[in-house]
Structure 1
């Protein structure tokens, strides 16, 4: 237990034969201000006590509890937290890996990070590598019977750490992660969604994990997820707009074929590089088409799309109804419209009768004029005959 003891220090008197030193002819260096930063376990302990307002006894008690917790977390009885790495079981197939076939091995499984995979942090990779090295180092197993393959598996461990601790190499491996490659085609079909007992629940349960695992390839973060059935139209449109314009960093360099060992031919190297480039472009194109098909399928069975269309149709009908009146007003308006049409019909009929009467009057006038002409011709013909 720590204790604070104050000790009074009194400097001794100067000796009788002491004389001040002679002044030096050298110039004194100018004063320099330096910023000192407190550090060390004692200072950190002081900060913890000050922040949490702990006494020395309480601080020591918490430190002991933390030490016991870390010791329980670490299987070797040390004092380091394994950051959730844990101890995954090692199968015979895993332990019998050939280090020459390192491109075919699952680096996450080799380091015991299968449960974390691309979510594993650099610190977790470091802890996992340390634990594997302590367990499988050849010097530790030297002379042990039945452990002839420990050296080979140790090489696999070193290669896995080399790949996963390098950001570029790790990204290339994550692009073709064998675990996700096996479930890449695990996408629900349209019939599975539409014929489900609860199509809405089946849609979100089926497509939610699909978009979640594809989101890790996006250059733009964060990535909009599938959401829920009550999302507004703007959010749904933003979701599909993002995925239809998905910008992926996924590459396929990890699957490139190596140049034949011992070959110094430039032609061989150029041919291999050209073939690798062509294969990468082909795989990239196929992956883009695969993701586009997933988005098309999700859009075709998304229950929110049907809901949005129904809401838009109802809104249009309500707008049309509001524009024409609404409630009892449409009946009055319809009645007024019918009366107006009736009035116009009567006016048209009256106008037609008037035109007909004018036509008959005109016809009668023409007939009278013709009769007068005939009478005048008959008078002239009788007068000429008498003379």
Structure 2
């Protein structure tokens, strides 16, 4: 049972120099009745508790569940803000134990927790991911904590990842050799996988669709035509393969260049290293072009749309040979050409007849003029003879 303790409260005495306040000369406004409107989060919480007949504990539990559901839908951002879908990726031991000296071997997207976005990550998403990692792994956060957490080394990896991914040129170089896609590039579908599938048509689009979508990120020309559908017209299919056979790639391999030995001032050593790097970049670029050309060759060889187009063209040629001929054995197109030819010949014949008729009329007119002239001469001669 609780004990009740009564504390005596004694008011302090008035000060010796205290005097009552003087009455104000201002008039006091008359009292007015005002209507207050209930509002605010406290009133809304009261309404929810009243309507659903909830206790304070039940209401708080329900509010916490709604908060978690909202975070799951919109992402758990910093300070309650939307994190633009960055989320919180699990940090494996391999990631946390990275050596900052070997920064070229690290996956910068995985370090910042952007493995699910990679080259699609925007600048804002990279900044948010970096801020999350800094708040979690800053060395000052681990100061005085027992045990070696290696956070100082991992924090350097975070800073290096931010440095690379916020530089447009260096990020493009890293995206060109992204280690995540190296395994995917090696696993290219073959013609046997398509032909031996239960539904070759469905298997072709399922296997090759993601491949061309993945390779499209290297194109200088945008937009990039993707694989499309089975019923695509001939012009679209031809345009697709024409684009990919003439693919203009921005992919480069400078990120894999070997560094010049530290502390070396030998110019010959630097020139040799630069020459070697240039040769290696050209070799890798040539191999990448051949790799992509091989993918397009395999896709063209087992594309079901090519067979469909050839079959449609064959049927059209057979229909042209066999069917839809008129009584005289001519197709509508041939009949139209024959009618045009006849009309041209008739027009030419009529034109020649008009020319002949005009020439004869001209001759007759000239002969009549000559005859009239001759008759006038004879008349004048007769008149002169009678006068004599």
Q: TM-score range by the shorter chain?
A: 0.5 to 0.7
CA distance in structure 1 between the aligned counterparts of 2:127 and 2:150, rounded to whole angstroms: 23
Task: Please state whether the residue corresponding to 1:183 is helix, strand or coil.
Answer: helix
Kindly state the Cα deviation for residue 140 of structure 1 after the two structures are TM-superposed.
0.6
1:109 aligns with 2:107: no
Q: Distance in 2 between matches of 1:76 and 1:172?
A: 30
Native 8 Å contact 1:252 1:284 kept in 2: yes
Partners of 1:70 and 1:80 within 8 A in 2: no
Relative distance call for 1:284 and 1:95 in structure 2 (3 A) is same
Q: C-alpha root-mean-square deviation of aligned residues, in Å? A: 2.7
Judging changes above 3 Å, is the alpha-carbon distance between structure 1 residues 168 and 226 closer, same or farther for their aligned structure 2 residues?
same
Q: How many residue pairs end up in the alignment?
A: 270
Distance across 1 between alignment mates of 2:263 and 2:165 = 28
Contact kept, 8 Å, 1:138 with 1:150, in 2: the verdict is: yes
Equivalence for 2:302: 301
Distance between the aligned counterparts of 2:317 and 2:267, measured in 1? 69
**Counterparts of 1:136 and 1:306, CA distance in 2:** 58
**What is the distance in 2 between the residues matched to 1:70 and 1:138?**
32
Name the counterpart of 1:93: 94
Confirm or deny that 1:261 pairs with 2:247: no
> Match of 1:184?
185
**What SS does the aligned partner of 2:98 have?**
coil
Distance 2:69 2:232 in 1: 44
8 Å Cα contact 1:71-1:80 kept in structure 2: no
Counterpart-to-counterpart distance in 2, 1:99 and 1:71: 37
**TM-score normalized by the length of structure 2:** 0.65
Alignment correspondent of 2:216: 215
Aligned counterparts of 2:76 and 2:276: Cα–Cα separation in 1? 48
In structure 2, the gaps of 5 or more residues are: 1-38, 44-62, 330-388
Q: State how far apart, in whole Å, the 2-side matches of 1:268 and 1:77 are.
A: 49
Measured against aligned partners, the alpha-carbon deviations of 1:37-59 in whole angstroms (never above 9, x if no partner) come to: xxxxxxxxxxxxxxxxxxxx79x
The one-character-per-residue Cα deviations of 1:25-71 (angstroms, maximum 9, x if unpaired) are xxxxxxxxxxxxxxxxxxxxxxxxxxxxxxxx79xx9xxx9xx7999
Relative to structure 2, which stretch is displaced further, 178-187 or 300-309?
178-187
- Tell me the distance in 2 between the aligned counterparts of 1:76 and 1:117: 19
Q: TM-score, normalised by structure 1?
A: 0.66
Where do 5+ consecutive residues of structure 1 fail to align?
A: 1-56, 331-387
| Residue 205 of structure 2 corresponds to residue 204 of structure 1 | yes
- With over 3 angstroms needed to count, the CA separation of the structure-2 counterparts of 1:124 and 1:290, relative to structure 1, is same
Distance in 2, Cα, partners of 1:77 & 1:311:
59
Say yes or no: does 1:234 pair with 2:265: no
Aligned CA distance change for structure 1 residues 156 and 70 (closer, same or farther; 3 Å)? farther
SS of match in other structure, 1:78: helix
Question: Which residue matches 1:359?
Answer: none
Cα distance, 1:130–1:157 mapped onto 2, change above 3 Å: same
In 2: Cα distance, 1:243 partner to 1:132 partner: 40
Give the aligned partner of residue 274 of structure 1: 275
Instruction: Tell me, in whole angstroms, the C-alpha distance in 2 between the residues paired with 1:145 and 1:298.
Output: 58
- CA drift of 1:180 comes to 0.3
**Following the alignment from structure 1 to structure 2, what is the Cα–Cα distance between the partners of residues 321 and 146?**
89
Gap change, CA 1:77 and 1:210, over 3 Å in 2:
closer
Residue 69 and residue 200 in structure 1: after superposition, are their counterparts in 2 closer, same or farther (change >3 A)? same
Partner of 1:168: 169
